[in-house]
Amino acid sequence: MPAIAEPYRIKMVEPITMTTREQREAAIRAAGYNTFLLRSDDVYIDLLTDSGTSAMSDRQWSAMMMGDEAYAGARSFDHLVESVRENYGFPLVCPTHQGRGAEHLISKILITPGQHVPGNMYFTTTRVHQELAGGTFHDVIIDEAHDPSSRHPFKGNVDLDKFQALIDEVGADQIAYINVAVTVNMAGGQPVSMANIRAVREICDRYGIILWSDATRLAENAWFIQEREDGYAGRPVAEIVREMLSHFDGITMSGKKDCLVNIGGFLAMRDEAILTKARELVVVYEGMPTYGGLAGRDLDAMAVGLREALDDDYLTHRIGQVRYLGERLQAAGVPIVEPIGGHAVFIDAAAFLDHLSQDELPAQTLAAEIFLDSGVRSMERGIVSAGRDADGNNRHPKLELVRLTIPRRVYTNSHMDVVADSVIRVFQRRREIQGLTFVYESPTLRFFTSRFEPLVAEAALEEGRPEPALAGA
């Protein structure tokens, strides 16, 4: 395999902080052992998320300088619409401040309270907006998606039998729409095949069900289709994206991922009636329909970034970098979700800390331990993220993961080596690590702001011993 270097060169740099173990102990304690509550200045390599953390290109920065900040009718909006039409094939666009703004609007527009919304695995903000609109989410992803060791090439696929069973059970008229995410974040950044999208479209056509997509990471999905699906080798990603999207009635987009911007999102669709409703709502919740809570310059940056993200060389390097990190961990025996996904390496925290029960919050614990070891920030994607069900009971998701999320065009493979070395060090002393417990649990999207303490602290306090920073620390 020839080495794949960055298909860009570095024109501007941002210094990052190096910390000592003592500083990191103080920082994680102050953050209630929640990596979301750490200060960025205390973080060395920030793999919390790939959302809004991209480096923009010189072209994007130039476009920003040309942004039109008129309150209404700005040409920046026209630029976004043109770019969406050309690259995604949707004629109609409604900008929003970010992805969840678009999710909020589409949930309100398409869901009548009491209806059902199938999707290929939940995403936190997506499901919350569906529930707030009175809908009930149903997971119709294939079973392999819930198995970290399954090497299915398209682990994001919709299970057509599960979708059909839901239609049979509740009736097609009680299904608000089906939401197909490309790629599937919570499954590990796993793609959906073109064949599966086509098959879902057929079912939707048969029953008159709206087919929507969460297209947040669509470029990465298309790259996997090019790599893995018969008939797509050698086809440009831009072409595959157009074909993928041709099957959908519309999309919600978080521009903070595959549009390579720090803020922004939108709805895009074909149906004028949906656009009209979106425009009625966007003025209440986001801003005028031509800016949707964004500055004109943000719209221009997004218009340029969404095109850049479809570049084959960029994607080969991008996904190659994620793979580089994943393969280094695999070589050391660290359990990770396979196949390695598009935006992140997901560590199987349940297997990594198999001496902890899920209620001892293995993924939350592991994220804190990795930070303590090296200042690398990751994100819990397990029982804490899954929250509670309608009866107030903790959901126990099959996947208990720590996500090492790679920002786009930001870090080099030297950074990936530092991350791999740190995770491997923690892996080697995993038996010393003990769990965490909630000390404050926030009622919605609890992973963002909840606080924790080491479980050993309780025992230590009872015995009158001083509280350690974290078990094994």
Note whether 256 and 407 are within 8 A (CB).
no
* Catalytic member of 35, 124, 136, 216: 124
Tell the residue number behind the tokens 């020839």, with chain if given: 2
Question: Does 290 help bind ligand P71 (rule: CB under 6 A)?
Answer: no
CA 104 to chain centre: 17
Bridge partners of 286, per DSSP, are none
- 120 or 196: whose CB is closer to ligand P71? 120
Indicate the residue among 156 and 454 with the shorter CB distance to ligand P71. 156
Selected catalytic residue, list 24, 127, 201, 257: 257
Q: Quick one: 119 or 375, whose CB is closer to ligand P71?
A: 119
Q: Which of 42, 68, 159, 214 is catalytic?
A: 214
Cα angle value 42/410/365 (rounded, 5°)? 45
Site mask for ligand P71 (CB under 6 A), range 63-102, x = bound: -----------------------------------xxx--
The C-alpha atoms of residue 433 and residue 385 are separated, in whole angstroms, by: 21
Residue 338 CB, shortest distance to ligand P71, in Å, is 19
Verify binding: residue 124, ligand P71, rule CB under 6 A: yes
User: Is 154 among the residues known to form the active site?
Assistant: no
Report the residue closest to ligand P71, judged by CB.
99
Binding mask 149-188 for ligand P71 (x = CB under 6 A): --------------------------------x---x---
> Could you say which of 127, 138, 155, 256 contacts ligand P71 (CB under 6 A)?
256
Q: Is 447 part of the annotated catalytic residue set?
A: yes
Residue 123 as a binder of ligand P71 (CB under 6 A): the answer is yes
Catalytic residue among 123, 266, 314, 371: 123
Among 126, 136, 213, 262, binds ligand P71 (CB under 6 A): 126
- Give the range of 87-95, 122-130, 218-226, 416-424 binding ligand P71 by CB under 6 A: 122-130
Annotation marks residue 257 as catalytic: yes
Q: Which of 262, 289, 300 is nearest to 69 (CA)?
A: 300
Nearest residue to 184 (alpha-carbon basis) of 124, 263, 260: 124
Among 125, 179, 193, 262, the residue binding ligand P71 under the rule CB under 6 A is: 125
Rounded to whole angstroms, what are the CA distances from 153 to 15, 156, 216, 224?
38, 9, 20, 9
214 noted as active-site residue: yes
Residue in 35, 49, 374, 434 binding ligand P71, rule: CB under 6 A: 49
- Write the DSSP symbol of residue 158: B
CB of 114 to ligand P71, least distance (A): 24
> Smallest distance from the beta carbon of 100 to ligand P71, in angstroms?
3
254 binds ligand P71 (CB under 6 A): yes
Q: Which residue has the tokens 């050993």?
A: 456
CA–CA dist 398, 232 (Å, integer): 32
**Kind of pairing between the strands at 379-381 and 178-181:** unpaired
Q: Is the dihedral of CA 240, 242, 245, 247 positive or negative?
A: negative
Compose the 202-231 pattern: x for residues touching ligand P71 by CB under 6 A, - for all others.
------------x-x---------------
What's the rounded Cα separation, in Å, for the pair 368 and 377?
8
Q: Does 193 bind ligand P71 (CB under 6 A)?
A: no
Which residue, 314 or 447, has its beta carbon nearer to ligand P71?
Answer: 447
C-beta of 124: minimal distance to ligand P71 in Å? 5
Say whether the peptide bond before residue 397 is cis (omega within 30 degrees of 0): no
177 in active site: no
- Which C-beta is closer to ligand P71: that of 77 or that of 123? 123
CB 126, CB 185: distance < 8 Å: no
* Cβ-proximal residues to 24 (8 Å cutoff; 6+ apart), any chain: 42, 371, 372, 375
HSE on the CB side for 422, CA within 13 Å?
Answer: 26
**Residue 435 and residue 452: Cα distance in Å, rounded?**
10
Whole-angstrom Cα distance, residue 445 to residue 402? 17
Active-site position among 17, 21, 58, 71: 71
| CB closer to ligand P71 out of 121 and 274 | 121
> Rounded distance, CA 141 to CA 154, Å?
11
Dist. CA 412–CA 432, nearest whole Å: 31
List interacting residues with ligand P71 (CB under 6 A). Answer: 49, 51, 98-100, 123-126, 181, 185, 214, 216, 254, 256, 265
Q: Which residues are catalytically annotated?
A: 71, 123-124, 214, 257, 381, 447
